[in-house]
């Protein structure tokens, strides 16, 4: 028997607590081997006023070829921030090569927030993200990403649970049967995560603490992936991810950490070790 192993296809950002710099420690703490596959290397993430961005696309095929030649196996594959259509195609090839019957794929369709796509995003990239969605077992969009994947406009009011269920059902026709719409600001005091699991829906409500923080999605998706790989249900994994991120956000606020410095997750990281 070997330990479980998860490929993390995402960027490496030095300062700012996002992507692999967050996902690898969380996955490792959850006793799963983390295997980074960088899509880009950045000094800080793109929410900072300045950053150095080194696209890794041209290295990715050779990097991945080593794993093909070694016949490596992965129990989980997680994808996040992707920079170009070409990169999405490389990721789809990776999934086609490494997804076995028991391998689960989590796609975090990192594209934007608050109704706007990130600066590095354009319509072409958003369209190729739709192709990637077809390979996901678990999909973790926020509301902006959910409507973008469905080619719908950002809603003027927060959608009802029935509307969210209908949108998730539409998206599930493309492949993913477990969808969590993250960070829905239902009112001034609460954030809702809406779950769709093979046609069944549920919600996880959490107190809203301070303004939105960058990297929250990366903390949430890695705890979900780790929990699911450790044989928890999708609902249990989302609940743990929500509670953990909420605790980290409260601590980050207490320290008056700037929102773009991300979640001070190190404080509570060890608590994930027994989940």
Distance CA 234, CA 228 (A): 6
Q: Smallest distance from the beta carbon of 113 to ligand PXL, in angstroms? A: 8
Residue number of the CB closest to ligand PXL reads 46
List alpha helices for the chain, DSSP H.
Answer: 20-29, 60-69, 85-98, 123-133, 143-149, 161-172, 216-229, 234-254
Nearer residue to ligand PXL within complex by CB, 16 or 226:
16
In the complex, the residues that contact ligand PXL under the rule CB under 6 A are 11, 13, 18-19, 42, 45-47, 81, 110, 118, 214-215, 217-218
Distances (CA, A) of 229 to 10, 53, 76, 103, 233: 19, 32, 7, 9, 9
Nearer residue to ligand PXL within complex by CB, 154 or 189:
154
Q: Smallest distance from the beta carbon of 149 to ligand PXL, in angstroms? A: 16
Question: Which pairing describes strands 190-197 and 178-184: parallel, antiparallel, or unpaired?
Answer: antiparallel
Question: Which pairing describes strands 5-15 and 76-79: parallel, antiparallel, or unpaired?
Answer: parallel
Nearer residue to ligand PXL within complex by CB, 132 or 172:
132
Provide the token pair at 246: 């909420």
Nearer residue to ligand PXL within complex by CB, 42 or 171:
42
């Amino acid at each position: 028997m070997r330990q479980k192993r998860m490929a993390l296809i995402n960027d490496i950002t030095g300062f700012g607590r996002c992507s692999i710099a967050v996902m690898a420690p969380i996955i490792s703490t959850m006793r799963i081997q983390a295997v980074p596959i960088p899509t880009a290397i950045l000094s800080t993430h793109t929410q900072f006023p300045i950053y150095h961005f080194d696209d890794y696309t041209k290295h990715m095929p050779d990097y991945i070829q080593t794993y093909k030649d070694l016949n490596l196996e992965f129990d989980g594959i997680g994808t996040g921030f992707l920079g170009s259509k070409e990169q999405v195609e490389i990721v789809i090839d990776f999934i086609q090569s490494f997804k076995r019957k028991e391998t689960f794929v989590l796609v975090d369709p990192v594209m934007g927030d608050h109704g706007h796509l990130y600066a590095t995003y354009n319509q072409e990239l958003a369209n190729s993200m739709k192709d990637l969605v077809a390979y996901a077992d678990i999909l973790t969009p926020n509301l902006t990403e959910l409507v973008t994947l469905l080619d719908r406009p950002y809603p003027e009011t927060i959608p009802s649970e029935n509307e969210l269920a209908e949108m998730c059902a539409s998206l599930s026709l493309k492949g993913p049967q477990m969808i969590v719409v993250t960070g829905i600001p239902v009112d001034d005091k609460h954030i809702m995560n809406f779950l769709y699991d093979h046609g069944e829906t549920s919600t996880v409500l959490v107190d809203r603490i301070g303004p939105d923080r960058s990297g929250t999605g990366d903390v949430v998706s890695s705890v979900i992936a780790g929990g699911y790989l450790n044989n928890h249900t999708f609902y249990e994994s989302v609940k743990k991810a929500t509670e953990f991120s909420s605790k980290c956000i409260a601590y980050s606020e207490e320290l008056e950490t700037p929102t773009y410095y991300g979640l001070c997750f190190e404080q509570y990281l060890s608590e994930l070790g027994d989940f």
